[in-house]
């Protein structure tokens, strides 16, 4: 069981909108193992972002159960064990690119050579020349790639990415995904990408489908909790 990073059984998340209770995620049962590369697909509004937030321990379920057997408790996950790449720009505006990428290492009080780790992470996606720029000087696609460099810099056990290629043209998106998959090869890091892009989904080892908040066709679901 040591390679089981995240387990969920009938996990759900509801929100109140006035007097109405809305199910962002109705039911999701799954296991995520070390080294899994998963595409999470579904229509807009099907609950993909909410499920990623639940997996990261950023949000708490209102039904069912979720745990992190090989990682610890929800309050110990971010940013050292799980990295989350948001769909919207998430760089801190007053900080340079290199300072933004260094944040997870500083928060985790890493003892490695932070400057080298940041430079290596940026080089993975061909972003070395952007190190001294501020977020306001970047395009949307550049910001997404910097956010992914920040996600990989601390060698987390799980990377959760919400539409990371959404602002990239097809050739740039392919090169970006090639670089990410090559970087993770042999590391045991699990990768879950929420995507509408069929080409991205085809690059992953498995595809999980969300339909109206219910996760279907996810493998390894028997006895999840």
Q: Looking at residue 99, what is its pLDDT?
A: 98
Residue 28 within a domain: no
Instruction: Give the span between the Cα atoms of 13 and 23, in whole angstroms.
Output: 6
Mean pLDDT, residues 53-72 taken together: 97
Residue 223 within a domain: no
The whole-angstrom distance between residue 95's C-alpha and the CA centroid of its chain comes to: 22
pLDDT at 152 exceeding the cut of 90: yes
Q: Looking at residue 116, what is its pLDDT?
A: 97
- Residue 89's pLDDT band, with cuts at 50, 70 and 90, is confident
Residue 10 within a domain: no
Query: By the 8 A CB rule, do 8 and 64 touch?
Result: yes
pLDDT at 219 exceeding the cut of 70: no
Residue 184 within a domain: yes
pLDDT at 224 exceeding the cut of 50: no
pLDDT at 1 exceeding the cut of 50: no
Residue 176 is part of which domain span? 36-59+71-206
pLDDT digits (tens, 9 = 90+) for 104-149: 999 999 999 999 999 999 999 999 999 999 999 999 999 999 999 9
Residue 212 within a domain: no
Predicted TM-score (pTM) of the model is 0.94
Residue 119 within a domain: yes
pLDDT at 223 exceeding the cut of 70: no
| Total of domains in the chain | 1
Residue 2 within a domain: no
Mean pLDDT, residues 160-181 taken together: 95
Mean pLDDT, residues 93-111 taken together: 96
Q: Looking at residue 225, what is its pLDDT?
A: 41
Instruction: Give the span between the Cα atoms of 26 and 13, in whole angstroms.
Output: 7
Quick count: other Cβ atoms within 10 Å of Cβ 189?
20
- Residue 220's pLDDT band, with cuts at 50, 70 and 90, is low
Residue 90 within a domain: yes
Residue 110: what are its φ and ψ, rounded to 5°?
A: -65, 145
pLDDT digits (tens, 9 = 90+) for 2-14: 599 999 999 999 9
CATH of the domain at 157: 3.40.50.300
Q: Residue 191's beta-bridge partner residues?
A: 37, 159
Mean pLDDT, residues 51-79 taken together: 96
pLDDT at 102 exceeding the cut of 80: yes
DSSP the chain: -TTEEEEEEEEEEEEEETTEEEEEEEEEEEEEETT-EEEEE--TTSSHHHHHHHHTTSS--SEEEEEBTTTB-GGG-TTTTEEEE-SS----TTS-HHHHHHHHHHHTT--S-HHHHHHHHHHHTT-GGGTT--GGGS-HHHHHHHHHHHHHTT--SEEEEESTTTTS-HHHHHHHHHHHHHHHTTT--EEEEE-S-HHHHHHSSEEEEEETTEEES-SS-TT--
């Amino acid at each position: 069981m040591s390679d089981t990073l995240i387990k969920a059984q009938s996990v759900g998340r509801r929100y109140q909108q006035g007097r109405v209770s809305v199910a962002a995620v109705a039911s999701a049962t799954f296991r995520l193992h070390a080294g899994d590369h998963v595409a999470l697909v579904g229509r807009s509004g099907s609950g993909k972002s909410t499920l990623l937030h639940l997996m990261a321990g950023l949000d708490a379920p209102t039904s069912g159960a979720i745990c992190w057997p090989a990682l610890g408790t929800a309050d110990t996950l971010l940013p050292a064990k799980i990295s989350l790449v948001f769909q919207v720009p998430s760089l801190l505006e007053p900080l340079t690119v290199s300072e933004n990428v260094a944040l997870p290492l500083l928060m985790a009080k890493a003892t490695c050579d932070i400057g080298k780790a940041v430079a290596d992470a940026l080089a993975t996606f061909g972003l070395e020349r952007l190190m001294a720029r501020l977020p306001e000087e970047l395009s949307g696609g550049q910001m997404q790639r910097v956010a992914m460099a920040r996600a990989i810099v601390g060698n987390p056990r799980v990377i959760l990415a919400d539409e990371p290629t959404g602002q990239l043209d097809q050739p740039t998106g392919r090169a970006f995904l090639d670089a990410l998959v090559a970087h993770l090869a042999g590391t045991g890091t699990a990768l879950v990408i929420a995507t509408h892009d069929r080409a991205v989904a085809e690059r992953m080892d498995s595809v999980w489908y969300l339909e109206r908040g219910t996760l279907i066709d996810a493998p390894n679901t028997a006895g999840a909790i």
